[in-house]
């Protein structure tokens, strides 16, 4: 970045792992507030790293090596892997923030760090969508689910999800770049959408803006809007079926899955909204909107990061009653959270077989 330009700009805190508006005017945020937001981000990232690596590592160990392989364990194992990979590399972001957004790790890790963040986003939301679809099919079409629902099929679907997530996050591997400010000796890790450090040429600026908007639109569409819409459809179909039938449904696994989905969307919703507002900022020069985005960005990013350490605790405390979870071993708590529905019903008498009975034929 040219020195004449760099003296007027500082890196957007949201550029830490996710999207950025390349560089933003430093006078838009008071220095005291910017410092407070930076320290808050460091604290939240550190908590997410500690809880996320330990909690998700434990889920991987339990679901992958200690429990019987079922459709549910395949889903939650892959969710835990996505969150573990992301939280494992959070020290890079913590260091970047602590150094005042000075990236010391080189261009390859700059590209890799951002790619991992979006790989986690897409893989997680696709897995949650598939989990919702799996539950819906088991309720709406129980006979089909009994004959086709298997851990092998779940593993194939999970692998396809990882491929799709990698394809969607791969552009960040190309666009992510580093730029050194000779005046301040600070290296920025940012999205170089135009593959150019020329911030004056209008054609380059237009290309950068167009690609930025396309990337945000694709992420909002495939990382939030479509998955959330599909999940609402699946839940609606399940609610209608359950209302019209005498289906014997254990509420515990349903509650775990519903809470995990809700937590994901609540944690990521502010970030996606701010991303959309970023696009609006390209077409509407409003100081109030810009200030709201700049102040809200680090908070929304921190909330999104924090989601990666929540799931293990939801598995424990929603697997059984809270007090009972504290009395049991941690392994039993995870086993309860991942277990298929218990009990047996007679389909020939107008009721459906439980998922645990269906699953036993495929393990």
Q: Give residue 184's pLDDT band: very low, low, confident or very high (50, 70, 90).
A: confident
172 touches 211 (CB < 8 A): no
Q: So what's the pLDDT on residue 346? A: 39
| Tokens 């009721």 -> residue | 351
Considering the chain, what is the average pLDDT of its residues?
78
Eight-class DSSP state of 66? I
CB atoms within 10 A of CB 350: 10
Longest dimension (CA), the chain: 79
In eight-state DSSP terms, residue 101 is S
DSSP H or E stretch at residue 193: none
Average pLDDT over residues 330-342: 63
Give the pairing of strands 9-11 and 23-25.
Answer: antiparallel
Return the pLDDT at 348: 37
Q: pLDDT of 237-271, one tens digit each?
A: 888 887 776 554 555 566 777 888 889 999 999 99
User: In degrees rounded to 5, what are phi and psi of residue 10?
Assistant: -135, 155
Q: Where are the alpha helices (DSSP H) in 141-191?
A: 142-148, 151-175
- CA-nearest of 247, 226, 229 to 238 is 247
Lowest mean pLDDT among 51-65, 178-192, 234-248, 341-355: 341-355
| Separation CA 344–CA 69 (nearest Å) | 20
18-35: per-residue pLDDT in tens?
Answer: 444 333 444 456 678 888
Contact indicator for 157, 71 with CB cutoff of 8 Å: no
Quick one: pLDDT band at residue 329, thresholds 50, 70, 90? Answer: low
Asked if the model's pLDDT at residue 160 lies above 60, the reply is yes
Gap between the Cα atoms of 337 and 298, Å rounded: 32
Confidence check: pLDDT of 17 > 60: no
The pTM score is 0.80
47 pLDDT above the threshold of 60? yes
Give the per-residue pLDDT at 150.
92
- % of residues, the chain, pLDDT over 70: 75
Element (H, E) at 67: none
Q: What is the pLDDT of residues 273-320, one digit of tens each?
A: 988 887 787 677 777 777 788 888 888 888 998 998 988 888 766 655
Domain residues of the chain, as ranges? 3-360
Superfamily of domain 3-360: Rhodopsin 7-helix transmembrane proteins (1.20.1070.10)
Phi, psi of 354, rounded to the nearest 5 degrees: -75, 160
Q: Treating both helix axes as pointing N-terminal to C-terminal, what angle do 151-175 and 106-140 enclose, rounded to 10 degrees?
A: 150
Give the integer Cα–Cα distance in Å for 305 and 314.
16
What percentage of the chain carries pLDDT values higher than 90? 35
CB-hemisphere CA count at 13 Å for 200? 6
């Amino acid at each position: 970045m040219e020195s004449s330009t760099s003296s007027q700009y500082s890196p957007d805190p949201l550029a830490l792992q996710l999207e950025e508006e390349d560089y933003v005017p430093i006078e838009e945020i008071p220095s005291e507030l910017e410092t407070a937001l930076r320290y808050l981000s460091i604290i939240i990232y550190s908590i997410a790293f500690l809880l996320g690596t330990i909690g998700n590592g434990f889920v991987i160990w339990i679901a992958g090596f200690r429990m019987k392989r079922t459709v549910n364990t395949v889903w939650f194992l892959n969710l835990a892997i996505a969150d573990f990979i992301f939280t494992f590399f959070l020290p890079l972001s913590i260091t970047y923030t602590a150094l005042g957004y000075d990236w010391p790790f080189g261009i390859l890790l700059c590209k890799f760090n951002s790619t991992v963040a979006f790989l986690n986003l897409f893989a997680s939301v696709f897995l949650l969508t598939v989990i919702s679809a799996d539950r819906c099919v088991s309720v709406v079409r129980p006979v089909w689910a009994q004959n086709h629902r298997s851990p092998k099929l779940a593993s194939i679907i999970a692998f396809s999800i990882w491929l799709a997530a990698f394809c969607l996050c791969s552009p960040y591997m190309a666009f992510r770049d580093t730029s050194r400010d000779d005046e301040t000796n600070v290296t920025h890790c940012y999205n170089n959408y135009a593959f150019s450090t020329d911030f004056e040429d209008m054609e380059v600026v237009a290309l950068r803006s167009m690609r930025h908007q396309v990337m945000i639109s694709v992420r909002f569409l495939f990382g939030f809007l479509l998955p959330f819409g599909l999940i609402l459809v699946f839940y609606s179909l399940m609610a209608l079926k359950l209302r019209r039938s005498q289906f014997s449904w254990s509420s515990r696994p349903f509650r775990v899955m519903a809470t995990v989905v809700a937590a994901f969307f609540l944690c990521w919703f502010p970030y996606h909204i701010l991303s959309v507002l970023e696009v609006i900022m390209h077409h509407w020069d409003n100081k109030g909107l810009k200030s709201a985005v700049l102040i809200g960005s680090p908070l929304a990013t921190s909330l999104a990061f924090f989601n990666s350490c929540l799931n293990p605790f939801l598995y424990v405390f929603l697997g059984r009653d809270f007090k009972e979870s504290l009395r049991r071993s941690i392994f039993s708590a995870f086993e309860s959270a991942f277990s298929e529905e218990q009990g047996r019903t007679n389909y020939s008498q107008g009721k459906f077989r439980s998922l645990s009975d269906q699953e036993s034929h495929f393990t």
